[in-house]
Amino acid sequence: MLNPGSKPEGVWRAPQTYPFQLPLMTLYSHLDTERHVNNVAVHSFHLEARTRFLMERLERPVWYSDDLLLRPRRTLTQFLGETHYPHPVTAGVVALHADQQGAHLRTALFQHDQCVGVQDCLLGAWGGDGWVSLPEPVRAALAGDQPAAEWPPELPLDAWAFAGYPQRVPLVSRYADLDPDRVLSELAVARYAEQGRAGSLSELRKPGLGLLVARIDLRIDRWDRGMGEVALATGLSRIGNTSFVLRGGITVDGAATATAESVLVLIDRDSHRPTPVTPYVEAMQAISID
């Protein structure tokens, strides 16, 4: 059984596994302070490939809709290597499974013939003010040959649960955060999650140290939010040898909208290799989730 969250190996790193493929270009504007393509820009490649795949498979409008929105209930993105500018990327897409709850799509990114990232997306149908059954024509078009996957447990999506996260950051959403359907875009939510992470890591902003994102598990539970007051809540969940896990919650106008769980790796900038988190554990306790 294919389980999102397990490290993709074998056929899942091979381009021929993905019947739909799309060439994409990296842009200078995609670069971050580590001088590689930013994690949200990488997410945008997965989103673009998924959208083009849906446009090919489905008769209904996909990149816009006046009734039923096809949107991720959850995305789990694994960064298997750095994506670099200005080299092109090839994105591949395969449909794995579909039922009433949603369709499981997997996208992969390839650069220099190497798989640099994989994203699992549980695509659902949002109707007005809640999730509805995935329409039968959509289920039929996205049916794959894999059984239903066992996704990792979800984080609590509740404003009261977020209150236990020690790091708090207020934001105001922007017009640019809206998508063609006038709701917060998928990338805006991903960017909010990134801001929550970045605002929590001042103790690790030191000369000679860098951070790489290894995995982001993003659950979006509302697609009826537009511009409003955004609140980000973040806390340190676990610490390993060279990596640690941050949990985050996003509310819009007080409504719990999304959760994010991110695995980050501390690196030595000179060797560009993982380095122990141990010397910084005490300082990081200030954002630890009790």
271, exposed or middle or buried, with CB in 10 Å at 0-12, 13-18, 19+? exposed
Residues 6+ apart with CB under 8 A from 130: none
On the question of a common fold for 1-152 and 153-290, the answer reads yes
CB contact at 8 A, 126 and 68 = yes
pTM: 0.96
Structure-token match 């990081």, residue found = 284
Phi, psi of 54 (to 5 degrees): -65, -35
**CATH code of the region 1-152:** 3.10.129.10
Q: Can you give the residue ranges of every domain in the chain?
A: 1-152, 153-290
Residues 6+ apart with CB under 8 A from 240: 277
d(CA 100, CA 48): 24
CATH topology of domain 153-290: Thiol Ester Dehydrase; Chain A (3.10.129)
Count other C-beta atoms under 10 Å from residue 118's C-beta.
22
Per-residue confidence of the chain (290 residues) as pLDDT tens digits? 578 988 899 999 999 999 999 999 999 999 998 899 999 999 999 999 999 999 999 998 899 998 899 999 999 999 999 999 999 999 999 999 999 999 999 999 999 999 999 999 999 999 988 999 999 999 999 999 999 999 999 998 888 888 889 988 899 889 999 999 999 999 999 999 999 998 888 777 878 888 899 999 999 999 998 999 999 999 999 999 999 999 999 999 999 999 999 999 999 988 889 999 988 888 888 889 87
CB contact at 8 A, 290 and 259 = no
Residue 19 CA to its chain's centroid (Å): 22
